[in-house]
Amino acid sequence: MDFQMSFNSMVWFMVKAALASIPALIILAVIGALLTIFFGAFFGVLSKM
């Protein structure tokens, strides 16, 4: 199974995919930072007990 796609269309598709990944990475970074803060505070409180 094969499909035809011009080089320009493929380049444009890859540019759009790269640009679309930027907001996704920002969202994942924010979620990761929030989880780090939460677990850091949680285990920090536990270690003081």
How far apart are the C-alpha atoms of 49 and 40, rounded to whole Å? 15
Total-model pTM: 0.65
What is the predicted pLDDT for the residue at 13?
A: 94
> pLDDT tens digits for 1-46?
788 999 999 999 999 999 999 999 999 999 999 999 999 999 988 8
